[in-house]
Amino acid sequence: MARIGVFVCHCGENISATVDVQKVAATAAKIPGVAYSVDYNYMCSDPGQQMIKNAIKEKNLTGVVVAACSPRMHEPTFRHACAEAGLNPFLCEMANIREHCSWVHEKSDATTNKAIDIVRTLVAKVKKSKALLPIKVPVTKTALVIGGGIAGIQASLDIANSGHKVILVEKDPSIGGHMSQLSETFPTLDCSQCILTPRMVEVAQHPNITLYSYSELESLDGFIGNFKARIRKKARSLDEKLCTGCGLCTLKCPTKKITSEFDAGLGMRPAIYVPFPQAVPNKPVIDRNHCTYYLKGKCRLCEKVCPTQAIRFDQEDEIVEADVGAVVLATGFDIKHGDFFPEYGYGKYKDVIDGLQFERLASASGPTLGEMRRPSDGKVPETVVFVACAGSRDPAKGIEYCSKICCMYTAKHAMLYKHKVRQGKPYVFYMDIRAGGKMYEEFVRRAMEEDGVQYVRGRVSRIFERGGKLIVKGADTLLGARPMEIEADMVVLATAGVANAGAEELAQKVHVSYDSYYFYSEAHPKLRPVETNTAGIFLAGACQAPKDIPESVAQASGAAAKVAALFSQAELVRDPLIAVVDRQAPPLYSTCVGCFLCQTSCPYQAIEKEEIRGRDGQLIKTVAKVNPGLCQGCGTCVALCRSKSIDIQGFSHEQVYAEVLALLNRGESDV
């Protein structure tokens, strides 16, 4: 005979404000099989948990129903409490009377009655619950890090330094990401490459890190602790083992006028190229879309000059398979390009550039070797206007969020310009200055006060060319919205930070959720900021939202700590809420008839064939068997099984029917 305990939580006022909790507890006590029913202010508190533990022991409870919040919040808390009192944790269920009831309804009798009905169904379910044992699965102690920018580099190094293997996949020919393009970094103005390249070299040299550059993730299967990754190594057209990185091929390549991605379109590169001098690995790659040989079938000059005969024109993409236990997504961001700001002439006037292009102009390794010269005619710009929030915080442009990094880098840009062009006049148009961060506000002040950057609070309405000058029209809202017109030589737009072009595709490959801007979603915005909702997949850096370097690095270290914690266990313990194929005593053995519809339906390839043999080795029957390590408990096979031989533990047919019947069979007087 079942002896169920019902524990009704007030959740402060969250539940009790609209649900009569005393009535719920009193009514629950009358449900057949309920041996004990009580309400309490905070069930999740220590005294609340103690109440459950005591009741289990004193009342000899065989099951527990906690009527409180969503099981997503406190199910582990209460199951743990039950286990401590000696009750199998899977005999504890939560009746969600908060999210499903008190929060979404007005205070009324109907609301209370709904709460009672929810409790009633869960009592019926627990009566049919069986004690279950957790499943243990091994952990592959290798991490896959996707994206070799500063976040991916940091995560890789931290995981590798904790003694675990790392596979780092980078889509570009070199690691380094956007940080390698930057000239100097705020708020210290230290050279970006000087602080980044030692980390890049460390990645290359670390015995625990395998680097796949110029590679992309092809697919990811499996689950936490046991993922299978397929990585596409794109053909570099080069034998990396033979190449010494001497660079002769890049010098001799006759096709030299290809827009350089690294220089944000301001410089040129050859068809066989290394993106920048400190690239890791320092091995060239042939751009097959521009190489004369691939286009016209002639040339092969690089092959002739290569001292080690490393060029391989016939090389094909290669697929590498790897078993990994955890994945860190660190795929970074992009800035908004293109024709989205026609009133600013972005993409139309050569001297209206974006933030990354300015970084390249200011960088010693850039197309002007660090001299401040404008793209159109190479003249030193005497007046430069910086426009913050070019697209950000602008619903009309479809981007409502703040890109967060622009206030700081715009101050830095204006400062760098002023340092290079002493007599220059920098103006910054801004909406608000968001300089929250250590030494950030001081940095912006410095730009204004020491470097004399003119800050104008107001938006720019239009930029157009007249007589060789860029006319910037705007308003100074601090001076009574006085219209302003500045004749500038160059304009730098802080265009909005956006997700990378391939972000959505990758998210679908690895099954993580993303927001409407294609930034990856964290499991909880405050308390689980580096985890995704997919167990074993973590986030680092600006693929989650625009972030500056310190924040990206901090999050990367956070993600690495999560991976290290996962890898510190020999086995992972999983909830046994998985499908099982029914087994019976001989001579039936199983109701399974071996049609294997389930096998074709399983999205996780978790169903195998099992041969049942007699003592003489004679085959008696072939039935389905669920691999408990692979099964995710989705239930697709259950729905398809024609002989009802598969069931989900914890959500069995019997339990679900009992829940439905509890609602159907309740008498009018029960409420």
Partner 1 sequence: MKTGFYPGCSMKGSAREYSESLLAVAAALGRELPEIPDWNCCGATAAHNLDQDLALALPARILAAAEKEGMDEVLVPCAACYSRLSVTRHELLEDEKLRQKISGLIEADYRGTARVLNIIEWLSGVPDLESRIKSPFARRVACYYGCLLVRPAGILKFDRPEDPQSMDLLMKKIGAEPLDWAFKTECCGAGFSVSRTDLVAKLSGLILDDAVSRGAEAVIVACPMCHLNLDMRRPNIEKHSGKKYGIPVIYITQAIGLVLGIEAKKLGLQRHKVAVKFPPPADNPPSADAPATAPEKSGQKYLPGEE
**Residues engaged in binding partner 1 (CB under 8 A):** 342-343, 348, 396, 462, 464-466, 471
Which of 329, 322, 348, 328 is CA-nearest to residue 337? Answer: 348
Nearer to partner 1, 341 or 358 (CB): 341
Nearer to partner 1, 138 or 398 (CB): 398
**C-alpha dist (Å) from residue 66 to 24, 119, 164, 225:** 12, 8, 41, 31
Which of 396, 325, 380, 333 is CA-nearest to residue 572? Answer: 325
For the CB of residue 88, give the shortest distance to partner 1 in the complex, in Å: 56
For the CB of residue 347, give the shortest distance to partner 1 in the complex, in Å: 11
What's the token pair of residue 576? 């046994």
Measured CA to CA, the distance from residue 500 to residue 516 in angstroms comes to: 13
Nearer to partner 1, 396 or 619 (CB): 396
Nearer to partner 1, 461 or 643 (CB): 461
Per-residue b or e along 623-633, where b marks 16 or more CB atoms closer than 10 Å to that residue's CB:
bbbbebbbbbb
For the CB of residue 354, give the shortest distance to partner 1 in the complex, in Å: 18
185 contacts 339 by C-beta, under 8 angstroms: no
Measured CA to CA, the distance from residue 174 to residue 215 in angstroms comes to: 10
For the CB of residue 460, give the shortest distance to partner 1 in the complex, in Å: 11
For the CB of residue 253, give the shortest distance to partner 1 in the complex, in Å: 36
What's the token pair of residue 378? 């190479």
Nearer to partner 1, 464 or 517 (CB): 464
Q: Rg of the Cα trace of the chain?
A: 32
Nearer to partner 1, 214 or 341 (CB): 341
For the CB of residue 471, give the shortest distance to partner 1 in the complex, in Å: 7
Nearer to partner 1, 106 or 339 (CB): 339
123 contacts 31 by C-beta, under 8 angstroms: yes
Nearer to partner 1, 461 or 477 (CB): 461
For the CB of residue 407, give the shortest distance to partner 1 in the complex, in Å: 24
Nearer to partner 1, 13 or 400 (CB): 400
* Residue showing tokens 């004399």: 452
355 contacts 413 by C-beta, under 8 angstroms: yes
What's the token pair of residue 87? 């009750």
- Give the orientation angle of helix 355-362 with respect to helix 406-420, to 10 degrees: 30
User: Three-state SS string across 528-553, please?
Assistant: ECCECCCCCEEECHHHCCCCCHHHHH
Nearer to partner 1, 242 or 471 (CB): 471
Note if the bond before 277 is cis, omega within 30 degrees: no
Q: Which residues does residue 498 pair with via DSSP β-bridges, in sequence order?
A: 334
DSSP letters, 608-656, are: EEEEEE-TT--EEEEEEEE-TTT-----HHHHH-TT--EEETTS-HHHH
For the CB of residue 459, give the shortest distance to partner 1 in the complex, in Å: 12
Measured CA to CA, the distance from residue 599 to residue 605 in angstroms comes to: 7
Which residues, 6 or more positions from 513, have their beta carbon under 8 angstroms from its beta carbon?
A: 507, 520, 521, 532, 533
For the CB of residue 571, give the shortest distance to partner 1 in the complex, in Å: 56
Nearer to partner 1, 347 or 650 (CB): 347
What's the token pair of residue 120? 């009633």
Measured CA to CA, the distance from residue 607 to residue 637 in angstroms comes to: 9
**C-alpha dist (Å) from residue 608 to 225, 626, 627, 643:** 20, 6, 7, 17
Nearer to partner 1, 397 or 621 (CB): 397
Ramachandran region, residue 52 (left: φ > 0; alpha: ψ -120 to 50; beta: rest): alpha
238 contacts 315 by C-beta, under 8 angstroms: yes
327 contacts 536 by C-beta, under 8 angstroms: yes
For the CB of residue 476, give the shortest distance to partner 1 in the complex, in Å: 19
Q: Cα–Cα–Cα angle for 438, 441, 446, nearest 5°? A: 120
348 contacts 342 by C-beta, under 8 angstroms: yes
Strand, coil or helix: 341: coil
Measured CA to CA, the distance from residue 359 to residue 189 in angstroms comes to: 12
For the CB of residue 496, give the shortest distance to partner 1 in the complex, in Å: 16
Measured CA to CA, the distance from residue 413 to residue 358 in angstroms comes to: 7
Measured CA to CA, the distance from residue 324 to residue 142 in angstroms comes to: 5
Nearer to partner 1, 42 or 464 (CB): 464
For the CB of residue 335, give the shortest distance to partner 1 in the complex, in Å: 20
For the CB of residue 493, give the shortest distance to partner 1 in the complex, in Å: 14
Nearer to partner 1, 466 or 615 (CB): 466
Nearer to partner 1, 462 or 524 (CB): 462
Nearer to partner 1, 348 or 653 (CB): 348
Which DSSP letter does residue 145 get? E
Nearer to partner 1, 223 or 346 (CB): 346
Measured CA to CA, the distance from residue 346 to residue 331 in angstroms comes to: 26
Q: How many CB atoms lie within 10 A of CB 561?
A: 16
Strand, coil or helix: 220: strand
Q: Which residues does residue 226 pair with via DSSP β-bridges, in sequence order?
A: 223
For the CB of residue 427, give the shortest distance to partner 1 in the complex, in Å: 19
For the CB of residue 312, give the shortest distance to partner 1 in the complex, in Å: 46
What's the token pair of residue 189? 């103005």
For the CB of residue 356, give the shortest distance to partner 1 in the complex, in Å: 23
For the CB of residue 475, give the shortest distance to partner 1 in the complex, in Å: 14
